């Protein structure tokens, strides 16, 4: 069914491309400017969204083999993600069960983690392996001192984690079938080429840009070009969205040649044509396809709020369908990734920081989303809806059969 859905979306894009039209939502919508600047609102978003919902923490290829791990901080919570002996991914609270000191830093490969404070050692599946000087410390039940596990799910070459060990939210239900669509990229077999982390403005200000083609030929006139498209149709699976420009064309992999899809049989449409555009995973991930180095690539941007309302940070992963085998391909991919850093850091995020400073003046009470900005409207509606929802309502939202049973 997911392939049929991709084809159906492509038909819609082609028809609008032929007609020179796009899908518009019903009205222009205003959002309170304080939604971006209010510290209490920001804290609610941390608690109700980032500490309750499944978050994408890594592409699978970042942890390519058993023993691979990385330590990270999300919304003030230290997280350790590992690839276990059986090949599954698992996330833990990166906190020794003795005194709370982190047991891992950075990333790499390890079958065990030893706390640098007192030497307690844990296996990469979280089990407590040994404590230092047990004859002096006293008897402990090792099974009661394992690292705290977070709910973890790996789908479509991506790893999701819920930062609440007691969460009852169905992670698969939260994805609303979106993971089936993402499977068509084939990320689980792709190669991680490069990654970096950028600082940005308020997390919603930053994320608005990923849901907006309207700004492309204006803000990015010197990079993408002033004749770049500025229209997008939006497709939704719960809070997750795909944006794609209405057009009859798709770029042919490995060249500047464009394919006229309207003149091809549907069965001949290549997968890269069916997945073009920007795919966003609520609340904080953007996936965009590129072709640097002559082959299929994608930039997966994972965006988290910072310590204050005006800060965020984004880890950009440049993944490639095939690992580069020669210098020309490698340099092409590197150049593509460097170009994207300029676009995001020097244009999108610098603009977002200036925007945030202006909103903090308190002299602007609303910001606006047009009928051509349906993706941004939907995003803010979902933020409001989920911030207001208690835990029981949250489960009902993403598991409709629970609501039907009541």
- pLDDT greater than 70 at residue 169: yes
**Averaged pLDDT for residues 178-188:** 97
Q: Which residues contact 100 (CB under 8 A, 6 or more apart)?
A: none
Rounded CA-CA distance 98/116 in Å is 12
- pLDDT greater than 90 at residue 349: yes
What digits encode the pLDDT tens for the residues 200-211? 999 999 999 999
Peptide bond into 310 cis (omega under 30): no
What digits encode the pLDDT tens for the residues 239-264? 999 999 999 999 776 667 789 999 99
- pLDDT greater than 60 at residue 374: yes
Q: In what order do the strands lie in the sheet with 297-305?
A: 191-200, 312-320, 297-305, 285-290, 278-281, 240-244, 233-237
pLDDT confidence band for 290 (50 / 70 / 90): confident
How high is the pLDDT of residue 393?
96
- pLDDT greater than 60 at residue 70: yes
- pLDDT greater than 80 at residue 398: yes
How high is the pLDDT of residue 402?
53
Q: Which residues contact 157 (CB under 8 A, 6 or more apart)?
A: 59, 60, 61, 182, 183, 185, 186, 187, 188, 189, 190
What digits encode the pLDDT tens for the residues 88-146? 999 999 999 999 999 999 999 999 999 999 999 999 999 999 999 999 999 999 999 99
Phi/psi at 7 (nearest 5 deg)?
Answer: -65, -40
DSSP string computed for 351-380 = HHHHHHHHHTTS---EEEE-TT-HHHHHHH
- pLDDT greater than 80 at residue 401: no
DSSP string computed for 67-103 = TEEEEEEETTEEEEEEE-TTS-EEEEESS-TTT---S
Prediction pTM value: 0.96
How high is the pLDDT of residue 293?
67
How high is the pLDDT of residue 254?
60
How high is the pLDDT of residue 255?
64
**What are the E-state strand segments in 245-338?**
249-251, 258-260, 278-281, 285-290, 297-305, 312-320
Rounded CA-CA distance 146/122 in Å is 8
pLDDT confidence band for 21 (50 / 70 / 90): very high
DSSP string computed for 135-166 = HHH----GGGGSPPEEPEEEETTEEEE-S-TT
**Averaged pLDDT for residues 54-67:** 98
* Cα–Cα separations (whole angstroms), residue 106 to 13, 110, 269, 325: 43, 12, 42, 28
- pLDDT greater than 60 at residue 348: yes
pLDDT confidence band for 33 (50 / 70 / 90): very high
How high is the pLDDT of residue 167?
97
**Averaged pLDDT for residues 352-380:** 97
- Listed residue (334, 323, 351, 319) closest to 58, CA to CA: 319
- Listed residue (18, 50, 128, 23) closest to 373, CA to CA: 23
Share of the chain above pLDDT 90, in %: 93
């Amino acid at each position: 069914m997911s392939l049929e859905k991709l084809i159906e979306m492509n038909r819609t894009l082609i028809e609008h491309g032929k007609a020179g039209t796009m899908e518009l939502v019903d009205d222009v919508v205003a959002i309170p400017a304080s939604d971006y600047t209010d510290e209490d609102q920001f804290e609610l978003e941390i608690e109700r969204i980032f500490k309750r919902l499944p978050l994408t923490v890594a592409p699978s290829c970042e942890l390519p083999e058993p023993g691979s791990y990385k330590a990270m901080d999300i919304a003030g919570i230290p997280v350790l993600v590992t690839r276990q002996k059986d090949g599954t991914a698992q996330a833990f609270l990166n906190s020794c069960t003795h005194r709370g000191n982190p047991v891992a830093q950075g990333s790499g490969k390890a079958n065990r983690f030893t706390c640098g404070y007192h030497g307690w050692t844990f296996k990469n599946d979280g089990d407590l392996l040994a404590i230092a000087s047990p004859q002096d410390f006293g008897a402990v039940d090792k099974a009661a001192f394992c690292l705290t596990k977070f709910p973890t799910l790996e789908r479509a070459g991506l790893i999701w984690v819920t930062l609440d060990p007691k969460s009852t939210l169905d992670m698969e239900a939260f994805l609303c079938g979106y993971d089936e669509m993402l499977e068509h990229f084939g990320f689980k077999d792709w190669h991680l080429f490069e990654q970096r982390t950028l600082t940005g403005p308020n997390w919603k200000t930053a994320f608005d840009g990923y849901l907006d083609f309207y700004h492309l030929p204006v803000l990015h006139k010197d990079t993408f070009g002033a004749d770049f498209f500025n229209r997008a149709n939006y497709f939704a699976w719960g809070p997750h969205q795909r944006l794609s420009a209405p057009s009859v064309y798709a770029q042919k992999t490995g060249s500047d040649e464009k394919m006229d899809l309207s003149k091809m049989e549907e069965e001949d449409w290549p997968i890269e044509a069916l997945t073009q555009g920007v795919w966003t995973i609520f609340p904080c991930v953007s996936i965009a396809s590129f072709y640097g180095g002559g082959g299929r690539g994608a930039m997966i941007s994972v965006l988290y709020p910072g310590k204050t309302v005006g800060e965020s940070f984004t880890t950009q992963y440049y993944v490639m369908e095939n690992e580069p085998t020669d210098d020309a391909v490698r340099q092409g991919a590197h150049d593509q990734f460097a170009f994207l850093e300029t676009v995001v850091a020097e244009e999108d995020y610098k603009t977002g920081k200036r925007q945030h400073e202006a909103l903090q003046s308190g002299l602007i009470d609303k910001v606006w989303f047009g009928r051509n900005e349906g993706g941004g409207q939907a995003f803010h509606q979902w933020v409001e809806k989920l911030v207001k929802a208690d835990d029981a309502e949250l489960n009902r939202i993403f598991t409709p059969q629970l609501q039907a049973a009541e």
